[in-house]
Every structure is written in C-alpha cells, then in structure tokens.
Amino acid sequence: MKTDPDKDFTFAGPWRLDGCTTLELDHGKCDEEDCPHRVALVDEEFIEFADALHGNTVLSAISLAANKMTDESAKALAEALRDNEVLNELNLMGNEIGDEGAVALAEVFQTNQVFTVLNIEANQIGDEGGKAILDLLKSNMSALEVVYIENNKMAKWIEEEVAEENRLNQEIPEEAMKVVEESRKGIDFGSFKPSDLIPPPPPTKLPFPEELRRPDDPREL
C-alpha cells in the first residue's frame, strides 16, 4: 500500500508492502480532483508496484481488478512473483491482459508450491494464453487449484476444460479416500438399532422390615 498522509485517499510516496497481508487496488486509485471517484491504474504504475513486490514475504492475496494492466505489466508482475513463497491468491479480473501476459504468469507459477487461486476473467486472453493456463491447472507440479477464466477471447472448449479441472481439484483425491476407507475397516457405522440395547435388570425388591410392619399391614414379608 502507499502512505496516505492527508487521509483523503490521494496517497503519496513509494509503495510500502511490509505491513500488508492482503492488498486490494480494484478500480485503481482515487482521483485527486474528484475523490472518491477512482482512476484505473496503468502499466507504468503496475511496473512500479511489481518492482516493490520483489522478495515479498508478507502479501498472501492481491487484487488488482478493473484496471488497465496489459501484457507489459503482467509480465513484470509475473517476474516479481517468480520466487514467491507467500502469495496464494491473485485477482487480475477486468484488465487488458492478452496471451503474452497469460503465458508469462503460467510459466512463473508452473512449479510454485503455494499459489492456489488465479482470477483472470474478462481480459483479452486468446487460445494461446488459455491453453497455457489450462496446462498449468492440470500440472502435477503446480499447487494451483482454481482458475476463473471466463469472458476472454479463447475457445469455449478451453473454458469448459478449465471448469472441469476446477471441479476435479475440489474433490477428495482417490488416494485420500482409500486411506479413509482403510481406517474405517472393522468399524460398523450403520447397523445400530435401538432394539440392540439390552435394558438393565429391574432393581431387587427388598423385603419390608418386619419390625416396622403394622399388624394390619397386608404386604407380604
């Protein structure tokens, strides 16, 4: 985030990322002449941001939706995240990213073990970039689990395959289910019936003490 000395959302000074875990810059920055009207961020500002992001050890989620990021700054952002060990969610929805930017992101996250969610809906990504993202999602090396990729310029079948991979990634893996089933062996979870309960025997009836009986008491000894 940037410092906001005037407390009016105008911001000033260099990017300061050391105190953030989640950063949201959706719809850009505040218009200094008409705040809170917002102005979309452009490549120059995103490249500056990417420079500050190198070596990030704090940010776990970044949202840069509804701005004017193109392939140029998307590639800069990808390079800044090459050695990422913290970030696991990135939202780039509603920008102007094309195939080059998508391919760069896919290449960087190919072997990343912490990054799990990517939103690149409503950009300008075609078949080349879509296939790169799909291959990333299918990769056994990548930790990526969910990609939002609708409303781009790619073929419909790519969107459908991405949706199917998202679904499969949310299921419990077959190997894990086998472990669960193995642990359940010998345990009957479904055969209990109330009739299986054996009621305890009635308490033994103790005789009434003879010394306390009245002569006209009809109870037996």
The CATH number for 106's domain is 3.80.10.10
Give the N- to C-terminal CA distance of the chain in Å, as an integer.
92
Is the residue at 9 inside a domain? no
E strands, 75-171, are 89-91, 117-119, 146-148
Is the residue at 180 inside a domain? no
Produce one character per residue of 26-43: b if its CB has 16 or more CB atoms within 10 Å, e if not: ebbbbeeeeeeebebbbb
Lookup: tokens for 140: 């056994």
Q: Number of folded domains in the chain?
A: 1
Residue 23 bridge partners (DSSP): 62
Is the residue at 30 inside a domain? yes
Is the residue at 27 inside a domain? yes
Is the residue at 191 inside a domain? no
* 120: containing domain: 17-171
pTM confidence score = 0.70
Q: What is the pLDDT along the chain (221 residues), one digit of tens a residue?
A: 444 444 444 444 454 455 568 888 888 776 666 665 678 999 999 999 999 888 888 889 999 999 999 999 999 999 999 988 899 999 999 999 999 999 999 999 998 889 999 999 999 999 999 999 999 999 888 899 999 999 999 999 999 999 999 998 887 666 665 665 666 565 554 555 555 566 667 766 666 666 666 666 665 55
